[in-house]
Amino acid sequence: MAPSDTATREGPPPLLGDRPGLIAFVTDDTSEAAIRNALAPFEPDLQIRRGDVRLATRTFAREPTPDALIVDVEGVADAYAALDALAQVCTPDMRVLVIGDRTDMGFYRELTQRLGVSEYIYKPLTRDNVTQLFAPHLRGATGRARITPARSGRITCVLGAHGGVGASVVAVNLALAVADNSRGHVALLDLNLRGGATALMLGAQASAGLRIALEEPARVDALFLERVAVEIEPRFRLIAAEEPLDADPNPTPEGITRVLSLLQERFNHIVIDLPRPLGPRERQVLTAARSSVIVATPDVVAIRDTVALRRIVGGLARGAAVMTALNRDGEPGTMKRALVEEGLGAPPDAVIPYLPKLLPRSVNLGRPAVRESSVLRRALAPLVREISGAEPLPAAAFWHRLFGARR
């Protein structure tokens, strides 16, 4: 299902930092009065705006995602598609409460069990039923902690068949392409703690803190992302480190779990530049991925290693998509496509042509090539479709983005 035709691509204020507590979009006076009277004691800064779920989608394509959101679906012909469009522009940790005019149990179950909506109330609303059903889901209600979000960001790992195949270049440009096409919040996590190149490719300076978070998770608090995530664009963040080459980082399993969990709460998509070789830490990351991209070049060693990696990665993340990206296709002196496909046993999922001028120049200048090359955008399109569920600008697949979608 295509995203809302009226949704804008304007950049919002920064994702991190203070965020609104509760915003409600309602279409009638009675619902507005019931929500205000019932929930103002729990959320003193409650904002109520006149409009339905479609206006909410357009709004949060520009504004920060609130902690909790009430949306009205009365009169919306396809409420599922409308909520899907909303999910694309909001962070996964937002708690969604829905009001509407449908009274059938099947609709309620679809919203709460399949789409990850926290609660649904049909009209007319009263102060009592709003207090009873909505208040427990708010951060200020009786001091209770918020319930674990039903949705979580989708992790995609990008790794090279061996060193020097261009995995980091693919990771950077793929992450930006996903951000462009999904309109969601995207993070690029570079786990090459020594010698990582993603910050240089983006013309950015890696911030301090990622190594500490991975080694000492007890020190990671709610402000972790604000300190570590570098804003590249309003809906795109880089999390990377630039440790000295003689450093010896030692991420712990708990640290990896903590960092991934925090990122999944705040970003719709997390693209990870995963180093080689695959040790215990890299394997742990792969088990959390919903998709992986193995980058190969058209040479015998890369094809051999890609076949072996596909078996390993497929065994670690059962049910996850394992894709192959052939980089530098057509480079002089390398294997022809037919031989590559024969060696892989199937055509690669994406084919990136040999671009001897564009890619080195973009890396050196810190200007991602995907923003300058329609050839590269088309080459990455099959991966973007699989990862984000979106046809490159603008169509999108419906079921890939439902609230509550799980691997």
**How confident is the prediction along the chain (407 residues), in pLDDT tens digits per residue?**
333 333 333 444 444 446 788 999 999 999 999 999 999 888 888 999 999 999 999 999 888 889 899 999 999 999 999 998 999 889 888 899 999 999 999 999 899 888 889 999 999 999 999 999 999 988 654 333 343 344 678 999 999 999 999 999 999 999 999 998 888 899 999 999 998 999 999 999 998 889 999 999 988 876 777 788 999 998 899 999 999 999 999 999 999 999 999 999 889 999 999 999 999 999 999 999 999 999 999 999 999 999 999 999 998 977 789 999 999 999 999 999 999 999 999 999 999 999 999 998 998 899 999 989 999 999 999 999 999 875 544 333 333 333 433 33
Spatial CA neighbour of 118 closest among 68, 168, 56, 59: 68
Predicted local confidence at residue 407, as pLDDT: 30
Same fold across 22-143 and 154-391: yes
Give the whole-angstrom CA distance, residue 400 versus residue 278: 29
Of the candidate CATH numbers 3.40.470.10, 3.40.50.300, 3.40.50.10260, 3.30.1540.10, the domain formed by 154-391 belongs to: 3.40.50.300
**Which pLDDT does position 404 carry in this prediction?**
39
d(CA 74, CA 64): 24
CATH of the domain spanning 22-143: 3.40.50.2300
In the chain, domain spans: 22-143, 154-391
Long-range contacts of 121-125 (CB under 8 A, 24+ apart): 121/97, 123/28, 123/30, 123/31, 123/74, 123/99, 124/30, 124/31, 124/34, 125/30, 125/31, 125/34, 125/35, 125/99
